[in-house]
Chain A
Amino acid sequence: MPREGILVPNPYERITDEQVQQIHQASLQILVDPGLICFSKKAAEIFQSNGAEVAAVASADHPHWHIKIPEKLVTEALDNAPKTVKLGARNPDNALIMKGDEPRVYFISGSETNIWLDVDFPTYVKKSDSSIEIKVPEFHPRRATVADLCQSAHVCEHLETLDGYIRTVNIQDEDITEDNKDVNKFFASLNNTTKHFMSGLTKLEQLDNVVRMAELIAGGKEALKENPIISFITCLVKSPLQFVADTTDTFIEVCRRGLPTAVSSSPQAGTTAPIKEAGIMAQINAEVLAGITLGQLVNKETPMLYGSVPVMARMDTLSDSYGSVETSQYNIDCVQMARFYKIPNYSTSGVCDAKIPGQQSSIERLFSDIVVTLSGPQFLHCAYGLLDCNAVFCLLQAVLDDAHFQMIKFFLKTPRINQQELVETMKQIREVVETPQKLYIGYIRQVMRSGEISPPYPFEGDGESDSVFALAYQRMNELLAKPVEHIDPETTAKIFQEIPGLLPRLNVYKEGK
């Protein structure tokens, strides 16, 4: 049985069918005029041999090609791309099955920030009355490490609403190099969660090591195909309209191996995309279609997600303003485009502009979490713990976000109105109005215990104090104290034998551990 996520009964739609068609047509035109610039020789060759118009552009330092993708190639790719994508998991009950035309939402973390935010609670004494002390949360940013990645995977394993794990932070330990980063981030994550793991790849040369590791865990090549416990994120198109050399090459190799991949594009309205909604939509859709076309040309029917991370630019810093209302609008538009193509959508919500957890972060993230979820994307990533325009990850915030998604999931339960319920409750009504107190209390006690009514906010303190952070912190530590199911000792030993570059300290079975 795969995870349930939450099925959105009547997904919210921002744009009309006609507008969807208009965007689709505009994107097809963009793919021909102006077309794309391509810095990957392999991709240029693939497009050329399949009938796209490819012209080399003379350049001294970076050889590149000008590519015009005809409509026919795009339409064929859209036909060939699987409409159902399965993302497997170490625990098969944690698999995700995504159908492009079914608005079932899975909630996923993200997204490789450099900064990890620690929290502690120093005591402050009131100046005018030293008998009064309060504990105030203080947040301390620092460079993230592989230990942090393990911790966050561990907590994410236990967050009830979290359906899949995208590596949260970029590991920057002294002994982590470009060459060993991939194997270590995959192992650290896979060893601490039994949920699906998705990640970008730092170095193409590491792809086969990572895939081999996944095969060892899944139980072989075929088993990994059946149960793809890992998948990849590839931002192969840099906005506006440029196939990047290394990511595109990585993407091609991932597609060749038939592993699932999110074909992601992240244009910023105002800088790397038009500020107008129509413009950014036509462009991002063209960029994703270009990626999907390439992937299907490489390996027909290879599983892929329509990856959309459109954002608005902050006018003061030109950072990605995930907290802005427009960002949610663009994301919902993309959900509709993906559903039009019936390809599962990798969408975005929850990231805030605020630098630390607090009122601003709560408002920004809850807003986008609600509205984007209501539109029914299949794979909602970045949804836990991300702050400061996606530059910072805070585990405490991830625990708070889990509570938000509990509320959203509860809200989306299907209404229970049917003839039987009506008949039963009408009987209640008639009985209660006859009693002196006229209270329905006698009929709520089983319901109260059935999970049918929503629980109060889990981090509510006593009296008039706001203890949300302190209680969420306590919860976070409880989750860290709960064990996780690591990869078994035998497989771990095999992995450490076969896969070069793993840090010995990640082996939980090593003596002294």
Chain B
Amino acid sequence: MTEDDIIARLKENVIQGRKTQQDEGIDEKLSGTPGVVELTRLALEKRISLEEIINALTAGMRVVGEKYSSKEYFIPDMLASAEAVGEAMEILKPLLEAANVETKGKFAIATVHGDIHDIGKNIVAILLRGAGYEVNDLGTDVPTEKIIEFIKKESPDYLGLSALLTTTMTEMGVVIEALKDSGLRDRVKVLIGGAAVSDEYAQGIGADAYCVDGFQAIKVLDSFQQAKTS
């Protein structure tokens, strides 16, 4: 495989949402051929630059976004591609750090204490990882203390909280109060989501944003980034 081949295939496999060689993707012709993970490793072996690899991943993801907007692709397609890109970024992470390249930011996400719903939270995590964020998934039914501890230690830029129950959404307010009490509130932006909550609720508890879904979360985060740079 030439370098150009690797780059072209990387992009194509992002579009196909094929994380590994085993993934079926959409086009049956590709089955059994290397997926994004194998191609990323191969690209590094062949000493293709980090920039070129990331450009290929981003270009693939852009096509996926277009296909989704034009209704050719559905959410599962978007997720598969995002997952593939997320996995590639995981491989590139140590190299990016060594090269002092900044990621878009660290995002910690958790379903709050008392709540075990995680489908929505997982989708958001996959999408954000695919969009270039470094995502730490703390799991479900996460006690507030554990969240605070994590933030103290790892200093993520963002904290995402998910709650699907009216009985557990109050826990989000508890987390925000605890952040204040520990003097961490200014260090992290809090995004909340889940069927139980709303924009008004977010404002009420002092969260920075409410997001209906993962796509909105990407937009909101981008707007935060812009605000930061301007």
Binding site for B on A (CB under 8 A): 436-439, 441-446, 448-449
Q: Is the interface of B mostly helix, strand, loop or mixed?
A: helix
* Contact indicator B26/A444 (Cβ below 8 Å): no
Q: Which residue of A lies closest to B23 (CB)?
A: A442
B25, B76, B122, B126 — most chain A CB neighbours (10 Å): B76
Chain B positions within 8 Å of A448 at CB level: 74, 76
Chain B positions within 8 Å of A445 at CB level: 17, 24-26, 76-77, 80
A437, A438, A448 — most chain B CB neighbours (10 Å): A437
A-B contact pairs, 10 of them (CB 8 A): A436-B122, A439-B79, A441-B79, A441-B80, A442-B19, A442-B24, A445-B17, A445-B25, A446-B26, A449-B26
Chain A positions within 8 Å of B1 at CB level: none
From B26, B76, B125, B137, give the contact of A441 (CB < 8 A). B76
A197 to chain B, nearest CB (A): 38
* Contact indicator A446/B125 (Cβ below 8 Å): no
From A437, A443, A444, A449, give the contact of B126 (CB < 8 A). A437
Asked if B119 is an interface residue, CB under 8 A from chain A, the answer is yes
Task: Give CA–CA (A3, B125) in the complex, Å.
Answer: 48
* Contact indicator B77/A446 (Cβ below 8 Å): no
Task: Give CA–CA (A439, B83) in the complex, Å.
Answer: 11
* Contact indicator A446/B122 (Cβ below 8 Å): no
From A436, A437, A444, give the contact of B76 (CB < 8 A). A444
Chain B positions within 8 Å of A436 at CB level: 122, 137
Q: Which residue of A lies closest to B24 (CB)?
A: A446
Chain B positions within 8 Å of A438 at CB level: 122
Give residues 52-98 of B contacting A (CB, 8 Å). 74, 76-77, 79-80, 83
Task: Give CA–CA (A442, B22) in the complex, Å.
Answer: 10
Chain A positions within 8 Å of B26 at CB level: 445-446, 449
From B28, B74, B77, B122, give the contact of A437 (CB < 8 A). B122
Chain A positions within 8 Å of B80 at CB level: 441-442, 445
Write out, one digit per residue, whether chain B residues 160-204 have a CB within 8 A of any chain A CB (1) or not (0). 000000000000000000000000000000000000000000000
How many B residues touch the partner, as a band? 10 to 19
Chain B positions within 8 Å of A443 at CB level: 24
* Contact indicator B125/A437 (Cβ below 8 Å): yes
Give residues 125-171 of B contacting A (CB, 8 Å). 125-126, 137
Closest 7 CB pairs of A and B: A437-B122, A441-B76, A441-B79, A445-B26, A446-B24, A444-B76, A445-B76
Chain A positions within 8 Å of B119 at CB level: 439
A33 to chain B, nearest CB (A): 66
Task: Give CA–CA (A441, B123) in the complex, Å.
Answer: 10
Chain A positions within 8 Å of B123 at CB level: 439
Task: Give CA–CA (A436, B86) in the complex, Å.
Answer: 13
B90 to chain A, nearest CB (A): 12
A95 to chain B, nearest CB (A): 34
Chain A positions within 8 Å of B125 at CB level: 437
Write out, one digit per residue, whether chain B residues 99-120 have a CB within 8 A of any chain A CB (1) or not (0). 0000000000000000000010
A69 to chain B, nearest CB (A): 62
Chain B positions within 8 Å of A446 at CB level: 24-26, 28
* Contact indicator A439/B24 (Cβ below 8 Å): no
Q: Which residue of B lies closest to A436 (CB)?
A: B137
Task: Give CA–CA (A444, B23) in the complex, Å.
Answer: 11
Chain A positions within 8 Å of B25 at CB level: 445-446
Chain B positions within 8 Å of A441 at CB level: 76, 79-80
Q: Which residue of A lies closest to B25 (CB)?
A: A445
B28 to chain A, nearest CB (A): 7
Give residues 1-32 of B contacting A (CB, 8 Å). 17, 19, 23-26, 28
A429 to chain B, nearest CB (A): 15
Q: Which residue of A lies closest to B74 (CB)?
A: A448
Chain B positions within 8 Å of A449 at CB level: 26
B52 to chain A, nearest CB (A): 27
Task: Give CA–CA (A425, B79) in the complex, Å.
Answer: 20
| Known contacts A445-B26, A445-B76, then 11 further A-B pairs from the complex at CB < 8 Å, ordered by chain A residue | A438-B122, A439-B122, A441-B79, A441-B80, A442-B19, A442-B23, A442-B24, A442-B80, A442-B83, A443-B24, A446-B25
A425 to chain B, nearest CB (A): 13
Q: Which residue of B lies closest to A438 (CB)?
A: B122
Task: Give CA–CA (A99, B137) in the complex, Å.
Answer: 60
Q: Which residue of B lies closest to A440 (CB)?
A: B76
Q: Which residue of B lies closest to A449 (CB)?
A: B26
Chain A positions within 8 Å of B77 at CB level: 445
Chain A positions within 8 Å of B83 at CB level: 437, 442
Task: Give CA–CA (A444, B26) in the complex, Å.
Answer: 9
Task: Give CA–CA (A439, B17) in the complex, Å.
Answer: 14
Chain B positions within 8 Å of A437 at CB level: 83, 122, 125-126
B140 to chain A, nearest CB (A): 11
A436, A439, A443 — most chain B CB neighbours (10 Å): A439
Chain A positions within 8 Å of B122 at CB level: 436-439
Chain B positions within 8 Å of A442 at CB level: 17, 19, 23-24, 80, 83
B72 to chain A, nearest CB (A): 10
B137 to chain A, nearest CB (A): 7
Q: Which residue of A lies closest to B17 (CB)?
A: A445
Q: Which residue of A lies closest to B20 (CB)?
A: A442
Task: Give CA–CA (A442, B51) in the complex, Å.
Answer: 28
Task: Give CA–CA (A63, B79) in the complex, Å.
Answer: 79
Task: Give CA–CA (A443, B77) in the complex, Å.
Answer: 10
